[in-house]
C-alpha cells in the first residue's frame, strides 16, 4: 500500500543525485531562501499558517529554521501544556527538515550514515537515531520512517542534504529535500488516539504500536487526501505525527480540529512543547548539545553517549557507519560526559529566595535555556545545566544537565547555579533518572484514554 501510492512521489531518476551543491557542513540547495544558508528576508510560513495565525491571540512568534512559528497561542503557555498532558494538543512542527531517501541503496546509505541498524527497520516502522561525523561526534538526532523497502523519510532539526551526498556518493540512491512539500502536525496527549481515529479513514490506530507508521486518508469520508501517521512525538506522551502534502495541510488541520472538539483539543505553541519535552527528558539540539557542525571549539563536541543518546549506537551492527571506529574506542574507555536529569532541592530554593523575601520565581515560567554551571557539592564545576523548568505536573524544579561521567550516577548530590533576583547562588540538586515523566500510555498497545495512565 505504501509502495503503490506513497505520500511522496518516487523520482524516476534514481541513478543520480539531483541537488545542487550547497554550503559546507550541511547547507543545502533548492528553491527556498533558508536553504542557501541565508536568513530569509521574509519569514517563511508553514502550510498551516493561515490556520495557526488566526488563532495566535498572544501574537507571540518565534523563528524556527526561518519559519514563523507560534510560541504560545494564549498569553501564557500553561493551558496548552496541560492539554498535552490531560487532553490533546495540536502542534505545527512543519519546519523540520525532511529528506526522502529512495532507491536500491537506500538502506545501505542509512546504515552508513546512521548509528542504528537499519537492516532491522521493517517497512512501516520509524527509528529514532543519531548520526555522527568521522570522529564519532554527534551531528544530529532524528527520526527515520521506512515507507517502503527502498524508501525512507528522514526528519531532522538541521539541514543535512550535503552530508547524505558525501556519505552516499556512487550509491544507487536518490536523496531529495522534500521539506517544503510536506506539512507536519503533532497530535499529542491522552485523547490523541480518539481524535486521530475520528479525523482519518483507513488507519487502524489500535494496531499501531509505538514508532509504527500507517497511511490513510484525511477526514471521515473518502477523498480528503493522503496522510501518513507515525506514532511518534516530542512530548513523552501518547501521540501521533501527521505527515501531509502541503496542499492538503489545511484539510488535515480542519479534520483534526473538528474531531478534537469533544476532546478538549487545543493548538499548542513551541513553549508548551518545550515544557513537555523537558519533562520527558528529551534532549534538544543547539540547547542541550551542540552539533559537531556548529561547534566552534573541540570541547563543545559530544558523542551520542555523552548527549544521552548512547542507546541509538549499535556497534554490533554489520554495516560500517561513519564514526564507528571512534565510538568503539569510546565504548572501551567510557564516555567522558553524561546527560542526566537534575532535580533541584525545592526547600533549598525556597530558602534562597526567602532571603530576598520572595517565593521562587520559577513557577509558571516556560523552560529556561540559559546554560548554568553545575558543581560538585561546594567544589569545582563538573558540568552545565542546559534546560530547566518547574514541572506543573510533577511540582518539581527539573533540569537537563551534561556532567562529568563520575558525577552521573542517580542519587549523586550536586550544586547548580540559580539566579535569585540579581544574585547567582548555588542550590542543592540531585541526579535523577530520565524521563521525569513517562506515562504507560506513551507506549501502550491499543492505548485507551483513562486506562493507560
Chain residues in the site for other proteins (CB under 8 A): 108, 112, 133-134, 163, 166-171, 322
Q: Residue 252 and residue 249: Cα distance in Å, rounded?
A: 5
Q: Residue 210 and residue 63: Cα distance in Å, rounded?
A: 30
Cβ distance to other proteins smaller for residue 57 or 166: 166
Taking the complex as a whole, how short is the minimal distance between the CB of residue 167 and other proteins, in angstroms? 5
**Mind giving me the DSSP string for 146-166?**
EEETTEEEEEESS--HHHHHH
Terminal CA-to-CA distance of the chain, rounded, Å? 33
Cis preceding linkage at 207, omega within 30: no
Q: Residue 71 and residue 267: Cα distance in Å, rounded?
A: 11
Cβ distance to other proteins smaller for residue 165 or 250: 165
Taking the complex as a whole, how short is the minimal distance between the CB of residue 202 and other proteins, in angstroms? 39
Taking the complex as a whole, how short is the minimal distance between the CB of residue 112 and other proteins, in angstroms? 6
Taking the complex as a whole, how short is the minimal distance between the CB of residue 105 and other proteins, in angstroms? 9
Angle at 145 between CA 143 and CA 149, to 5 degrees: 145
Cβ distance to other proteins smaller for residue 31 or 170: 170
Q: Which helix (H) or strand (E) holds 53?
A: helix 49-55
Q: Residue 205 and residue 210: Cα distance in Å, rounded?
A: 11
Taking the complex as a whole, how short is the minimal distance between the CB of residue 293 and other proteins, in angstroms? 12
Strands 381-391 and 126-132: unpaired
Cβ distance to other proteins smaller for residue 169 or 422: 169
Q: Torsion angle, CA of 160/281/353/416, rounded to 10 degrees?
A: -70
Backbone angles phi, psi at 224, to 5 degrees: -80, -10
Cβ distance to other proteins smaller for residue 112 or 277: 112
Backbone angles phi, psi at 82, to 5 degrees: -65, -30
Is 356:420 a contact under the CB 8 Å cutoff? yes
Cβ distance to other proteins smaller for residue 293 or 401: 293
Taking the complex as a whole, how short is the minimal distance between the CB of residue 119 and other proteins, in angstroms? 15
Cβ distance to other proteins smaller for residue 163 or 253: 163
CA 283 to chain centre: 8
Short-list 154, 34, 30, 32, CA closest to 102: 154
Short-list 443, 3, 447, 2, CA closest to 211: 443
Q: What share of the chain is helix, strand, coil (3-state, %, to 5)?
A: 25, 30, 45
Taking the complex as a whole, how short is the minimal distance between the CB of residue 178 and other proteins, in angstroms? 22
Cβ distance to other proteins smaller for residue 118 or 240: 118
DSSP 8-state class, residue 251:
H
Taking the complex as a whole, how short is the minimal distance between the CB of residue 169 and other proteins, in angstroms? 4
Cβ distance to other proteins smaller for residue 185 or 292: 292
Taking the complex as a whole, how short is the minimal distance between the CB of residue 314 and other proteins, in angstroms? 18
Q: Residue 10 and residue 103: Cα distance in Å, rounded?
A: 9
Nine-digit cell string for 352: 534562597
Cβ distance to other proteins smaller for residue 320 or 370: 320
Taking the complex as a whole, how short is the minimal distance between the CB of residue 111 and other proteins, in angstroms? 10
Amino acid at each position: 500500500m505504501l509502495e503503490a501510492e506513497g505520500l511522496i512521489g518516487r523520482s524516476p531518476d534514481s541513478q543520480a543525485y539531483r541537488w545542487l551543491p550547497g554550503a559546507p557542513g550541511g547547507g543545502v540547495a533548492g528553491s527556498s531562501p533558508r536553504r542557501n544558508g541565508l536568513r530569509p528576508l521574509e519569514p517563511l510560513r508553514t502550510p498551516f499558517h493561515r490556520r495557526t495565525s488566526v488563532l495566535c491571540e498572544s501574537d507571540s512568534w518565534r523563528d524556527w529554521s526561518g519559519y514563523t512559528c507560534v510560541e504560545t497561542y494564549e498569553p501564557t503557555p500553561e493551558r496548552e501544556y496541560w492539554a498535552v498532558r490531560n487532553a490533546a494538543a495540536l502542534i505545527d512542527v512543519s519546519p523540520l527538515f525532511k529528506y526522502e531517501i529512495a532507491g536500491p541503496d537506500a538502506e545501505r546509505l542509512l546504515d552508513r550514515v546512521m548509528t542504528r541498524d537499519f537492516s532491522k527497520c521493517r517497512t512501516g516502522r520509524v527509528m529514532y537515531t543519531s548520526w555522527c561525523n568521522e570522529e564519532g561526534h554527534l551531528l544530529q538526532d532524528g527520526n527515520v520512517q521506512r515507507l517502503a523497502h527502498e524508501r525512507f523519510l528522514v526528519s531532522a532539526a538541521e539541514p543535512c542534504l550535503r552530508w547524505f551526498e558525501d556519505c552516499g556518493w556512487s550509491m544507487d540512491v536518490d536523496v531529495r529535500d522534500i521539506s517544503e512539500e510536506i506539512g507536519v502536525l503533532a497530535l499529542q496527549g491522552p485523547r490523541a488516539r480518539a481524535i486521530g481515529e475520528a479525523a482519518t479513514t483507513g488507519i487502524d490506530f489500535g494496531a499501531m504500536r509505538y514508532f509504527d507508521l500507517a497511511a490513510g486518508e484525511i477526514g471521515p469520508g473518502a477523498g480528503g487526501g493522503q496522510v501518513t501517521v507515525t506514532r511518534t512525538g516530542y512530548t513523552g506522551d501518547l501521540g501521533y505525527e501527521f505527515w501531509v502534502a502541503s496542499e492538503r495541510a489545511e484539510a488535515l488541520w480542519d479534520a483534526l480540529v473538528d474531531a478534537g472538539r469533544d476532546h478538549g483539543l487545543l493548538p499548542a505553541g513551541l513553549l508548551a512543547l518545550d515544557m513537555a519535552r523537558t519533562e520527558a527528558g528529551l534532549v534538544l539540539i543547539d540547547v542541550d548539545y551542540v552539533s559537531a557542525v556548529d561547534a566552534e571549539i573541540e570541547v563543545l563536541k559530544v558523542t551520542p553517549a555523552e548527549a544521552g543518546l548512547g542507546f541509538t549506537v549499535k556497534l554490533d551492527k554489520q554495516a560500517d557507519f561513519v564514526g564507528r571506529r571512534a565510538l568503539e574506542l569510546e565504548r572501551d574507555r567510557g564516555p567522558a560526559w553524561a546527560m542526566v536529569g537534575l532535580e533541584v532541592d525545592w526547600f533549598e530554593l525556597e530558602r534562597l529566595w526567602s532571603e530576598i523575601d520572595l517565593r521562587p520565581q520559577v513557577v509558571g515560567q516556560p523552560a529556561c535555556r540559559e546554560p548554568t554551571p553545575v558543581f560538585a557539592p561546594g567544589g569545582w564545576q563538573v558540568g552545565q545545566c542546559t534546560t530547566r523548568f518547574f514541572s506543573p505536573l510533577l511540582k518539581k524544579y527539573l533540569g537537563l544537565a551534561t556532567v562529568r561521567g563520575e558525577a552521573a550516577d542517580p542519587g549523586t548530590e550536586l550544586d547548580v547555579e540559580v539566579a535569585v533576583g540579581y544574585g547567582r547562588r548555588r542550590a542543592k540538586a540531585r541526579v535523577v533518572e530520565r524521563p521525569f515523566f513517562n506515562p504507560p500510555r506513551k507506549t501502550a498497545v491499543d492505548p485507551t484514554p483513562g486506562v493507560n495512565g
